[in-house]
Amino acid sequence: MTTTTPFQRRSRAEIAAMVANDIPDGSYVNLGIGIPTLISKCLPAGRDVILHSENGILGMGPAPADGTVDPSLLNASKEPVTLLPGASITDHTISFAMMRGGHIDVSVLGAFQVSREGDLANWDTGAADAIPAVGGAMDLVAGARQVFVVMEHVTKNGEPKIVEACTYPLTGAGVVDRIYTDCAVIDVTPNGLVVRSMVEGLTFEQLQQMTGAPLTRG
């Protein structure tokens, strides 16, 4: 019988901060919608990270601190952003060429499901009321050198989002390198899913119960 111990899940901001801290200096990074957009506010001081938005911004900064919004300056999530010194704005042709051509070091995306093999499903659940929205995700996972996924560990109904095999339409097969959830950080490796860290108080056995695929201690 598995003993249940109390633990505190990470907030969305805390997940974003963990990802921001792991992005290497000098990286070109694309941030997807949802939790990934918070990363721009969490980058360590002095870290030289160039943020890319698929709608054509390279050198994107965080939302205006003073609340002054330029309605013509939005990221791919339609949220207000700023431009850092040296930033550029391109059309979609150039932006997607960056993504498809292997010029993005890290792509950070949300997900509905990730499989033990690193398959990613993040654009359609098949629900009757769902609106499929792939955006540039397929281009990003095909072209980025690394793909990080950020998401809650389970659905609102308590179902695992890390699974043996995805049941939703795939964005890409075998593309995910690392998974950040509100409970743990997990690497996708040739030998399976390896747990790198867990929130305080959470046991490995509890984490495995919440996960739909076998885990290995890192």
Specify if 179 maps to a domain: yes
* 107-164 pLDDT, tens digit each: 999 999 999 999 999 998 877 777 777 778 999 999 999 999 999 999 999 999 999 9
pLDDT of 78 above 80: yes
Specify if 1 maps to a domain: no
Instruction: Give the per-residue pLDDT at 2.
Output: 55
Specify if 4 maps to a domain: no
Instruction: Using alpha carbons, select from 66, 72, 34, 36 the residue that is nearest to residue 52.
Output: 36
Q: Two tokens at 60?
A: 């994107």
176 or 79: which leads in pLDDT: 176
Per cent of the chain over pLDDT 70 is: 99
Does residue 54 contact residue 135 with C-beta atoms inside 8 Å? Answer: yes
* 29-38 pLDDT, tens digit each: 999 888 998 9
58 C-beta neighbours (distance < 10 Å), count: 21
CA distance 169 to 180: 21
The CATH number that applies at residue 201 is 3.40.1080.10
Instruction: Give the per-residue pLDDT at 18.
Output: 97
Instruction: Give the per-residue pLDDT at 128.
Output: 74
Does residue 53 contact residue 33 with C-beta atoms inside 8 Å? Answer: no
Domain that holds residue 70: 12-217
3 state DSSP class of 107: strand
Instruction: Give the per-residue pLDDT at 156.
Output: 94
Specify if 38 maps to a domain: yes
Per-residue HEC secondary structure of 26-84 comes to CCEEEECCCHHHHHHHCCCCCCCCEEEECCCEEEEECCCCCCCCCCCCECCCCCECEEE
Does residue 92 contact residue 13 with C-beta atoms inside 8 Å? Answer: no
Does residue 6 contact residue 213 with C-beta atoms inside 8 Å? Answer: no
The number of folded domains in the chain is: 1
Instruction: Give the per-residue pLDDT at 11.
Output: 97
Instruction: Give the per-residue pLDDT at 212.
Output: 98
The CA-CA-CA angle for residues 63, 69, 74, to 5°, reads: 65
Instruction: Give the per-residue pLDDT at 171.
Output: 96
Does residue 146 contact residue 172 with C-beta atoms inside 8 Å? Answer: no
- Confidence category of residue 3, pLDDT binned at 50, 70, 90: low
pLDDT of 58 above 60: yes
pLDDT of 67 above 60: yes
Burial of 56 (0-12, 13-18, 19+ CB in 10 A): middle
Specify if 6 maps to a domain: no
Alpha helices by DSSP H, listed for 118-199, are 137-143
Catalytic residue annotation: 54
Specify if 7 maps to a domain: no
